[in-house]
Each structure stands twice: as structure tokens, then as C-alpha cells.
Structure 1
Amino acid sequence: MIKYIFILLFSTNLFAQNGLVYYGFIDAKGMGNAKGPDSNAYLVFNKEQSYFVTAKDSLESKVSKTETKTFKNEGESGGLTIMGNKVSPQGDQVAYHIKKNTMWSNVLLGNQIYTKEVAPDMNWKISKEIKKIGKFNCKKATSNFRGRIYTAWFTSDIPLPYGPWKLHGLPGLILEAYDTDKNLYWYFKSVEYPSKTKEKAKYMSIPKDNKWLNYTEFQKEQQDILEKAMEKNKIMAKKYPGFKISDPDIELMFIEFK
């Protein structure tokens, strides 16, 4: 009986463990090839839920928040100039709860936008291809998700269905992920499992003057922002006829566009 109780307590403690994985995130929309601002990110998780955050003020150095960098692909004469990494006090966040099958997210796009949705079905296709990331043997999987084809490398050594941002649903933790052109690229830095971190996988809070949007409402709000920007461009083009003013591309405005 004593042995049975010990095993039961040990198992309960194991399932309650927190894990913590650190990522780098390169936002290369408009350039591709993982050429863009490089931010810190982390994911804290347990067997029931996960919490991901990036673009958070406290995660970045003073230099990364203020310095100007130009990114260009080989053979290009121009490039893309970015003034500092995008940050906010709370960062861009995604909370995911397995049993509730729900995701809550927050992203800074002019204003802080809060979205609540049924966890999307990723429909991953797992291949036989394997590569090592850190000390982990990882399997390759691909999915067509909201306008982009993503590749994810996951490890069965940590058999929980989490990953950076909204990527989820594989039989192991995602350590690396990117879309076809590497407009978006999450790469592995380190992992603690189990972790002694005091940070916990949690639900997101929302200010009183904000509201949760569903995914359709989120898309409509972004379309409205696009249309206002295009209207402003028309006014500028009339005012400065000698300058070429390009309309913003909705695919470059945010990371979900279908």
C-alpha cells in the first residue's frame, strides 16, 4: 500500500510539472529568408495549458528596442530598414487550454487587440524526416494554416502538444517552426523540463475598456485598418504627385490573413 501511494503521488507531481522553453522569433514579413528583427520569446506549459509571449518590453535589451537595422537579401541594393524591435509592456501573447479547446491571444497592431477563438485544427502531416535540435531528436511536420504553409520540428521526448504562437496539436513540443519563405521563424534556444520557474501557464487578462474579438471580427478590424491606410495613400498621392506611394499588403500587416 505504501508503494502504491508513493507511485500515485509521484505521478500526480509529474503531471503537474511546469515546462519552460525559450525561443528566438524573427519577423521577416516583407523580406523572407529570416531577414528581420530578432526578438526573444518563451513558452511556459503544463499538461493542461500553455502560455506564449514575445515582443515584450522586459524581454528585450535597450539597444534592440532603439537601434536601426537594415535587412537585405543577397544581391539586393536596397533592403528593409527597421527602427527598433516592436515591443509593448505585456507583449504579444497566446494562451491555449486543451480541455476548453480555446485560445486567447493579444497582439499589438496599432492598438492592443484581444482575440478569443476555438483552437484551430492544424491538420499536420508528419514526415519521416528527422533532425537534432539541441539534445533532442525532432520529427518534421507541415501544415497549411491561415494563408501560410508551416514546417514544425517537434520532439516526442516532451509529449505535449504545444509550440510557439498558435502552432499546436502535434504529439510533442515544437522546438522550431517557420513558413515556406521564412517570413516568420521561431527557433529554439533552451528548455527547462521540469522547470522551477515561478511563471505559470495562465489565462490572459483584459483591460476593462477592451473586449474579446472572435477571429472573424479580428480579420474585419484589420481589413478596416488596411482600407483606411489605402485612403490615406490616395490623399498623399494627390498632394505629392512626384512620389510613388504603395498601398500596404494585407499579407504583411499581420500573421493571419486567411
Structure 2
Amino acid sequence: MKYLFVIVICSLSIKNFAQDIETEITDGVIYNFTHVLDTADREKAIKEQMVLFYSKSASLYKSYKEILDGIERNRRYAEAESKGLGSVNTSGLKPASGNAIFFNYPIKQLLEYKRILSKKYLVTNDSWNIQWTIKNETKKIGDWICQRADCRFRGRNYIVWFCNDIPYPFGPWKLNGLPGLIMEANDDRSEVFFKFVEFLKPGANGFESAFALPKNYNSVTQAAYKKLVKAYYDNPDLFSNPNAEATVVAVDANGNTPVFKKPVPINNPIEKSDH
């Protein structure tokens, strides 16, 4: 069965973006994502499960844990409101960042939905262009025979394994454009990994509403977003307003509202260049 999701992008001045994009999700795949944040201490790494939903022409990539935690968060808020409580314990739940990557393959458009605390942005990736070198080498991943392809993208050399038997040109993160679904990828320094876990059928377990892309984002270029990130590192208080217009306030396990600490810069970003 296929499931319908509608992505509405409003009030954008960028050509071809101010339109409704409607497509049917064909399937989804879960990856284990690892990113070493500090080359001097490889234990400092992001480790998270991510999910890619795809159709014939488009894909949506976001945090799988955030989807699951969003469902649980909504349950807790609804319960708190029904009981007339003024706060809800959100400890153990991943913050609702709203971050996602949308790729429209026919017109080669890649959009990133980003959030810096309470501020939301739609970042256009105008420089997206991957030149793949497809190799003859193959290996088996799960039940699938996959073929190797290499590329240099955003300052890293990637080795990926795609499946010709799953003819969709998508993959994790921003790795797209091959003749089959990317099942596994890593950079040649072993600092970034995307590993296939399993396929996921959209619509299962009440996920339908979780797949809608966030609305009311400010459209910015990559260059403008980098300036915003720098401003955030310099003064995060300018971006914080976690409980604006909330009828139920989020608190931690001790009943305290979140305290925003100055973020620690990452010395090994996943993107080392703009190309």
C-alpha cells in the first residue's frame, strides 16, 4: 500500500519552490548514523537512527528517534492538558528540532529544514551536485546485492553501496543520484557512517502525522544560514524561546525549565566545504 503526503512550501521568493509538492511514499529505510565530532577523541560521536522515506521522485530524511519521541511527547502533553497540569516531564525525549532533508529528484532540488532553538529555517542547497564514479565491485547487504560507487562531496570522499534492484535514486543525508537506493555509505576517514538497518513501511504505528514537513519556516541561503549558526554560537540567548505560546510548559525530571548553555563548537563537521 502507498501513503500520501503533501509538502506545502509557502511564501518563498526562490524560483520553483513556491508550489505544492504532492507525492506518494513508496517505502522507507532505517539507517544507523555515526558522525565522529572530534578527531582527537573518537568517542565523541553522534550515534542515531535515521529514516529515509522515498517515492518515485522525492525523498524525506529525518531522525527516526525524533519521530518516535514526537509521538510520545504528544501523548504526554495531551495527558497533562486533560488533567489540567501546567507542566509536563519531557525527560528522555529527543528535542523536537524539526530538522529534515527533502530532495526533489526530477528538478534536482535539495532543501534542508533546520531549527536553531525556537527559530526555524528552510535552507536551499543550490550547490548540490554529486559526480559519481560507479565501480564493478559488489557486496551483499542484508538480502540485497549492492554495487559500489565513489564520490567527493562537501569536502569528504565517500564510498557507498547502492542496490540496482531497488531503482530509486535516493540515499541517506544528501547522498542521492545513483540508479539504485543507497544501502550503506561511509567516508574514507571512517568519521561518517550510514548503515542499513531495515525497511520501514510508512503508516505503521501511527506515523502518518509525523511525516508532514514543518510549516512557517524562513527561507535562507546556505551562506546566510552559516552566519546565523555563527550568531547562535556567539549568543544563543538570541534564539531561545522554548515555551512561547505554550499552554503546557516543558520541564525536566526535576521540574525545571530548560537552561540553554552556550553550544560547544564541532571541530569535525560533516560538511568540510560547500562543494
State the TM bucket, normalised to the shorter chain. Answer: 0.5 to 0.7
Q: Which residue of 2 aligns with 1:156?
A: 164
Aligned twin of 1:255: 271
Q: Determine the structure 2 residue equivalent to 1:141.
A: 149
Alignment of 1:41-190 (within 5 A): 41-54=50-63, 56-59=65-68, 87-108=94-115, 112-118=120-126, 120-190=128-198
- Residue 141 of structure 1 contacts residue 152 of structure 1 at CA under 8 Å; is this kept in 2? yes
With over 3 angstroms needed to count, the CA separation of the structure-2 counterparts of 1:249 and 1:88, relative to structure 1, is closer
Counterpart residue type for residue 57 of structure 2: E
Compared CA separation, residues 85 and 27, structure 1 to 2 (3 A):
farther
Mapped to 2, the partners of 1:29 and 1:215 lie a distance apart of: 21
Structure 1 residues 34 and 118: CA distance shift in structure 2, 3 A: farther
Q: Which runs of 5+ in 1 are unaligned?
A: 1-14, 62-83, 230-246
Q: Are the counterparts in 2 of residues 33 and 182 from structure 1 also a CA contact under 8 Å?
A: no
Q: Determine the C-alpha separation between the residues in 1 that align with 2:103 and 2:210.
A: 9
Shift in CA distance, 26/17, structure 1 to aligned 2, threshold 3 Å? closer
For each residue in 1:135-175, what CA deviation from the matched residue of structure 2 results, as whole angstroms up to 9, or x when unmatched? 11111111111111112111011111100111100111011
1:215 aligns with 2:227: no
Aligned to 2:203: 197
Check conservation: 1:141, 1:153, Cα contact below 8 A.
yes
Alignment check: 8 A CA contact 1:101 1:118 kept: no
TM-score normalised over the length of structure 1: 0.64
CA contact (8 A) 1:45 1:200 kept: no
Q: What amino acid does structure 1 have at the position aligned with 2:112?
A: S
Amino acid aligned to 1:42: V
Q: Distance in 2 between matches of 1:187 and 1:131?
A: 14
1:225 Cα deviation (Å)? 4.8
Corresponding letter in the other structure for 1:43: L
Deviation track 1:181-223 (CA, whole Å, cap 9, x = no partner) reads 222211100125xx4636499773333xx41111222233334
Partner Cα distance (2:177, 2:126) in 1: 13
1:56 Cα deviation after fit: 4.5
Normalization by structure 2: what TM-score? 0.60
Q: What's the C-alpha RMSD, in Å, of the aligned pairs?
A: 3.5
Give the structure 2 partner of residue 38 of structure 1. Answer: 47
Contact 2:37 2:266 in 1 (8 A): no
Any idea what the Cα deviations from partners look like across 1:110-131, whole Å, max 9, x if unmatched? 5554312347111011111111
Cα distance in 1, alignment partners of residues 222 and 202 from structure 2: 35
Q: Please say if residues 37 and 46 of structure 2, whose CA atoms lie closer than 8 Å, have aligned partners that are also in contact.
A: no
Q: Would you tell me which structure has more helix in proportion to its own residues?
A: 1
CA distance in 2, matches of 1:85, 1:107: 22
Following superposition, the deviation at residue 101 of structure 1 comes to: 2.2
Unpaired segments ≥5 residues, structure 2? 1-22, 71-90, 236-263
Q: 1:248 to 1:52 in 2, by over 3 A?
A: closer
Q: CA deviation at 1:251?
A: 3.9
Distance 2:63 2:188 in 1: 21
Cα 1:145–1:39, aligned 2, differ >3 Å: closer, same or farther? same
Q: Tell whether the 8 Å contact from 1:56 to 1:89 is kept in structure 2 after alignment.
A: no
How far is the alpha carbon of 1:47 from its aligned partner? 0.2
Q: 1:59 to 1:97 in 2, by over 3 A?
A: same
CA deviations over 1:222-255 (Å, ceiling 9, x no partner): 34556x38xxxxxxxxxxxxxxxxx945543x53
Task: Report the counterpart of residue 10 of structure 1 in structure 2.
Answer: none
Distance 1:112 1:141 in 2: 34
Q: 1:217 to 1:86 in 2, by over 3 A?
A: farther
Determine the C-alpha separation between the residues in 2 that align with 1:125 and 1:89.
37
Contact 1:20/1:42 (<8 A) preserved: yes
Equivalent pairs, count: 199
